[in-house]
Amino acid sequence: MEEVKVTGTTIENLGILDLIDKKPEDLAAVTQIQNVGVVLAPEALSGALMKIPQKNVGLIVTIPPTSGKIKRLTGQLTVDGEAFANHSGSPEDMLVIAGQIIITSEIEVVGFKEVIVAGQIIAPKKAERALVGAVSQLTGQIVYYTGETPRLFVGNDTFSKAFLDLIDGNMSMILIGSFEFGSDVDTSTLKQKITELVLIGELRAPKELIPLLQLLAVVKLGNIVGKENVEAQSEQ
């Protein structure tokens, strides 16, 4: 993440505004904060932050004081369970997660005093116990998948039968955004190639695929809709 340089006037148009290392006097010249998704701020900054006019600010996450260091995982990242071990750190350290993080393996050890989450963690089901015990503050969601080799797709995309035919074996699909299965995708191919879906957003597909997609969706934070319905609504 780029360092936020507070030089005056307005701070704007940021997905994540990291103020964890700032002091109240660092915000003295700021006249407005606008169009910011998440603000990360220490408790000591709360008073100064509340005095600044704000517009279109999604979340303000307050970070409690700690005698250790604060490690950040921000944005859209893929990490393994070892990221939580903090082998080179101190037990007093804190982990702050902001954004969309996919964890690819089990969490064997949590080496942080606290884990604060603002956003979405997508983790294997076998990591659930460790995460539940470690997370002290959650603003967002933690969702779990059971497959061994998930593929993460973020944004917008269309999946054709040719794409599915290229998959060796099968896979778990994690979809964050707006996606579509092509009209050439049939139920047999979809059932053979996809073991489960985690959907955060919208998924459009031919009407005959909808029941199977609903069955495969182990997590659905959004909508699965028939392409025919979308086309009909657009014509009205």
Residue 82 within a domain? yes
Same domain as 58, residue 102: no
Residue 4 within a domain? no
36: containing domain:
9-63
Cα separation, 221 vs 202, in Å, equals 8
Cα separation, 47 vs 119, in Å, equals 24
Same domain as 197, residue 160: yes
Q: End-to-end CA distance of the chain, in Å?
A: 44
- Last residue within a domain, chosen from 110, 145, 180: 145
Residue 96 within a domain? yes
- Last residue within a domain, chosen from 21, 40, 63: 63
pLDDT of residue 152: 85
- Last residue within a domain, chosen from 115, 145, 175: 145
Tell me the per-residue pLDDT of 189-236, one tens digit each, with 9 for 90 and over: 999 999 999 999 999 999 999 999 999 999 898 999 998 755 545 544
Residue from 88, 133, 90, 71 nearest 108 by CA: 133
Tell me the per-residue pLDDT of 137-196, one tens digit each, with 9 for 90 and over: 999 889 888 877 688 898 999 999 999 999 988 888 999 899 999 999 999 999 999 999
Task: Decide if 107 contacts 121 (C-beta within 8 A).
Answer: no
Specify burial of residue 148 (Cβ count, 10 A radius: 0-12, 13-18, 19+). Answer: exposed
Same domain as 165, residue 190: yes
Tell me the per-residue pLDDT of 33-56, one tens digit each, with 9 for 90 and over: 999 999 999 999 999 999 999 999
Task: Decide if 194 contacts 169 (C-beta within 8 A).
Answer: no
Tell me the per-residue pLDDT of 64-76, one tens digit each, with 9 for 90 and over: 999 999 999 998 8
Residue 1 within a domain? no
